[in-house]
Structure 1
Amino acid sequence: MPKTWQLQEAKNKLSQVVNEALEDGPQIITRHGEEVAVLLSMEDYRKIAPKPRNLYELFHDSPLVGVDLDLTRDKNDLGRPPLDFSERQSG
């Protein structure tokens, strides 16, 4: 069962809170009686954090895989006009 710390106490005893997170698991921090944060060991964090993915994996796992999208541009659509940097506004 995680230990609960009041924010001020956690600030004053940060080393102890970290040590208990390493030894006993997540430590809950409260402010004005409300649970507002959890301190985790890096090992526990890595268990729940999303794994980094490369661009291929991101697209491969997309919910849009297999959706037939029409990405052709109308021949009359010239896109956005180029940006004009000659008239820079100050301020």
Structure 2
Amino acid sequence: MGTWQVREAQRRFGEVLRKARDEGPQIVIRHGEQVAVVLAMEEYRRLKEGEPDFKEFLISGPGLSVLEIERSREPIRPFELPVV
């Protein structure tokens, strides 16, 4: 796994991409902190495989009938805005 300072990664971006494809993930570092990783598309797709998108995630959850929600049957209290 390679590591690159931000400026070096910018200057040699083509090489970063090639190494991500041929050698594996490339880490980008800014001010001594790992801030990003460049992956080959094949690796990214492998990681994402089987993971539902957000819509699928919501649909796969339990139905609302599982929830026991009761609403108060009391009449709504009147509300008056103060006069200024």
Normalized per residue, which structure has more helix? 2
- The CA deviation at 1:51 is 4.1
Correspondence for 1:24: 23
Whole-Å Cα distance in 1 between the matches of residues 24 and 3 of structure 2?
11
- The CA deviation at 1:58 is 3.9
- The CA deviation at 1:67 is 1.4
Whole-Å Cα distance in 2 between the matches of residues 35 and 53 of structure 1?
27
Query: What TM-score, normalized by structure 1, do the two folds share?
Result: 0.61
Number of residue pairs aligned between Structure 1 and Structure 2? 73
Please give the root-mean-square deviation of Cα atoms over the aligned residues, in Å: 2.7
Query: What TM-score, normalized by structure 2, do the two folds share?
Result: 0.66
Give the 3 Å change call, closer, same or farther, for CA 54–36 of structure 1 in structure 2. closer
User: Which residues of structure 1 form unaligned runs of 5+?
Assistant: 77-91
Q: Which amino acid in 2 is paired with 1:8?
A: R
Instruction: Name the SS of the counterpart of 2:46 in structure 1.
Output: helix
Correspondence for 1:12: 11
Question: Runs (4+) of structure 1 moved beyond 2 Å?
Answer: 49-55, 68-71
Q: Which amino acid in 1 is paired with 2:47?
A: I
Identity of aligned residues (%): 36
